[in-house]
Structure 1
Amino acid sequence: MTSAAFPWKNGRPPHLPCGPGDIAENVLTPGDPDRVGLLADMLEDVTDFGRKREFAVITGTYEGQRLTICSTGIGGPSTEIALVELAMLGAKRVIRIGGMSALVAEYEPGSFVAVDRAIGDTGTALTYRKAGGKAVASPHILSGLMEAASELGLTCRPGMVASTDSYYLGQDRRYRLTGDDQDFVLDAIDHVQALGAIGVEMESEITMTVGAAIGLETGCLLGIHGNRATDAWLDDYESTQRNLLRIAGRAFSSNKRELRRKS
């Protein structure tokens, strides 16, 4: 029976617009629902399950493998909802595909980062760290991303990123602070850069920490939208977004090849 503690009905979750049998074991999670539609034409045999709130879901075939793409919206709470419901519907491996701001001048917009681990103080990740989650990528997925990018001739570097719940002040974008604190500077970028972060974004810590706590293999592949060291910004993100799918989709195949080699 549906209850407040478990508000599913007929095997369907309260948030994702799909049900039993709809989700592949391999899933890509962009943030923006519009990017799900953008990437749909790169898959074959696509079923579009529609959209509820920030969650748009399709399942199709990419390079011979069944693949689901599900948007998560922005930040921790909606990402957690998507990951838990995807796992309960049969997902086994999830790769976040999204954007980041680089903190290193040499990391040009349009190139890629395969996240090996994340730092941050996001509230959702803190909750799941208490349940044993760690913001570390699955080694098989990380190596698969690097291998796939190399095969495709695309620049991809491994590295640690910092995740934050805040797009503006938490990333040193001050906007109309008033009163006694109008001159306040958080220096968040300097702080995480000193800790070794090569970029800043909003979902990687959550994806890997929640995933680890609930038994998903996870990784994060990020396209560089902007560079905070040079103030460069990528105006046209479509080709980068499509390349995120090309790398991450192929990484699942690379992952299977690596597991076969070790078996």
Structure 2
Amino acid sequence: MSLGSSELILNPDGSIYHLNLLPEDIADIVITVGDPDRVSQVSKYFDSIELKKKKREFVTHTGSISGKRITVISTGIGTDNIDIVLNELDALANIDFTSRTIKEKKRQLSFIRIGTSGSIQPNIPIDSFVLSSSGVGFDGLLYFYDSGQARNSELELKLNDYLGWSTQNIRAYAADFDEKLAEQFASNRIRYGITITNSGFYGPQGRNLRLATAIPNFNERLAAFSHQNYQITNLEMETSAIYGLAKLHGHRAISLNAILANRATGEFSKNGKKAIDQLIQFALEKIVSIDLN
């Protein structure tokens, strides 16, 4: 069945609507970053860059390092942007734009998020790295999809029962990392934990400037929860959507987080750019040796 022009929206040059990319523009390994300026911070380590494109907040560079073809793309902030980026990247991989039909043979992408985050555990130091074992979303994105098969229902039930925040119209969903991809990033530099993905930066992460928050002890409640030996370690704004949409599409995904703030101790990194650069170099070193066969 052919997809209508209002569903699969293409630009006059045949590129996908928001990302402005053609199917041949993307590699099988895709690094996602939030900040458009961070794309060049990643691609400066490539041996060669074959493509640079930009539209709105979506900046894309595709190149190679040590013979490994990699795409790095900025998503902007939030799961609403992740919904655009993940769906359009999958379309580039698995929809024939000429016939507007889904390809019979599917292409699997590997997504590696390189992002920044705030810890809610006092024992996770500033400038350390966390790999998200699960992403828990407070934004509701996955509820718009037939997503039950991609979600960790055991974690959802346990966390929602523990929090009891249904009276605040908050019901979390959860999706897990790809274990095989995560194995490729194993290191004594990496800590593992459950990542909370929030729908905002201030109230939704328990920050109180001039507006009072509805839930007292927001971060403390989250920090006290554990599931299968994993604590909730950090807060950010994209991971749950990346994990959920990647699983629904049959792709792999992990989320790497540079911890720039510790909410429990009130600390903030004095050299966040260095920490992010170290995480980028760590990720690229691991990507070069990736073997997913």
TM-score with structure 2 setting the length: 0.78
Cα separation, 1, equivalents of 2:78 and 2:216: 20
**Residue correspondence of structure 1 range 21-170 to structure 2 within 5 A:** 21-90=24-93, 92-128=109-145, 130=147, 132-134=149-151, 135-146=175-186, 149-150=187-188, 155-170=189-204
State yes or no: 1:239 paired with 2:274: yes
Cα separation, 2, equivalents of 1:129 and 1:107: 35
Q: Which runs of 5+ in 1 are unaligned?
A: none
- Contact 2:82/2:238 (CA < 8 Å) preserved in 1? yes
- Contact 1:103/1:228 (CA < 8 Å) preserved in 2? yes
Cα separation, 2, equivalents of 1:37 and 1:183: 37
2:246 maps to amino acid: G
Deviation at 1:131, TM superposition (A): 5.6
Residue in 2 aligned with 1:7? 9
Q: Which runs of 5+ in 2 are unaligned?
A: 94-107, 152-174, 226-230
Q: Using the TM superposition, name which of 28-37 and 114-123 deviates more.
A: 114-123
Q: CA RMSD in A?
A: 2.1
1:173 to 199, 207, 211: 207
Cα separation, 2, equivalents of 1:212 and 1:184: 33
1:28 maps to amino acid: I
- Contact 2:137/2:241 (CA < 8 Å) preserved in 1? no
- Contact 1:128/1:210 (CA < 8 Å) preserved in 2? no
Cα separation, 1, equivalents of 2:254 and 2:214: 35
CA gap 1:130/1:20 in 2 versus in 1, 3 angstroms: closer
Cα separation, 2, equivalents of 1:184 and 1:122: 16
Cα separation, 1, equivalents of 2:210 and 2:244: 33
- Contact 1:27/1:69 (CA < 8 Å) preserved in 2? yes
1:223 to 237, 242, 258: 258
State yes or no: 1:194 paired with 2:228: no
- Contact 2:147/2:248 (CA < 8 Å) preserved in 1? no
Deviation at 1:127, TM superposition (A): 2.5
Cα separation, 1, equivalents of 2:242 and 2:213: 34
Cα separation, 1, equivalents of 2:7 and 2:148: 18
Deviation at 1:186, TM superposition (A): 4.2
- Contact 2:124/2:262 (CA < 8 Å) preserved in 1? yes
1:87 maps to amino acid: D
Cα separation, 1, equivalents of 2:221 and 2:146: 21
Q: Using the TM superposition, name which of 36-45 and 211-220 deviates more.
A: 36-45
2:120 maps to amino acid: L
1:32 maps to amino acid: D
CA gap 1:253/1:43 in 2 versus in 1, 3 angstroms: closer
Q: Using the TM superposition, name which of 9-18 and 23-32 deviates more.
A: 9-18
1:239 maps to amino acid: K
- Contact 1:33/1:71 (CA < 8 Å) preserved in 2? yes
Number of matched residues?
248
Cα separation, 2, equivalents of 1:176 and 1:133: 38
CA gap 1:125/1:246 in 2 versus in 1, 3 angstroms: farther
Cα separation, 2, equivalents of 1:198 and 1:129: 28
Cα separation, 2, equivalents of 1:247 and 1:87: 26
Cα separation, 1, equivalents of 2:213 and 2:16: 45
- Contact 1:141/1:252 (CA < 8 Å) preserved in 2? no
1:8 maps to amino acid: L
Deviation at 1:202, TM superposition (A): 0.9
